Amino acid sequence: MKLVEFVMSMILMILPFILSDAGIMHCLAVAPTLIMSLMFIILYLVDQVHDMAEQLYLAIQITLNTIALIAVFLRKYPASALYGLFYCHLLIALCIDQYYVFKERGCTLFKD
């Protein structure tokens, strides 16, 4: 799923150069997702993933991308449908990833 998140983030990073500017929330949501998904891909390859860090990353990115999706739709310009499509795909990938992390390792966010 990290690879899907990376590809969706890469598409969302390229999109403002093709279409009109997406705004500040776009940068705050997409850039960390791009970098952190690449980092987690590398950490998975060397088998050094920390459960708490991955779950915090997913929770924060789901929150930021949801806010960015709402901000894009509130701006009401024609390209918002395309941005919204890719944001929805990214949110679905993040939520599926969060589900499988919770299913495999349990929720370490609320443990003592």
Residue 110 lies inside a defined structural domain of this protein: no
Number of domains within the chain: 1
Predicted structure pTM score: 0.82
77 in a structural domain: yes
**Amino acid (1-letter code) at residue 112:** D
The domain in which residue 20 lies consists of: 2-105
pLDDT tens for each residue of the chain, 112 residues long:
778 888 888 888 888 777 776 677 777 788 888 888 888 888 888 988 888 888 888 999 999 989 988 888 888 787 788 888 888 998 999 999 999 988 988 887 777 5
Please check whether residue 111 lies inside any domain of the structure: no
Give a yes or no: residue 63 inside a domain: yes
Rounded-to-integer distance, Cα 86 and Cα 75, Å: 16
Q: Which sign, positive or negative, has the C-alpha torsion 47, 57, 28, 16?
A: positive
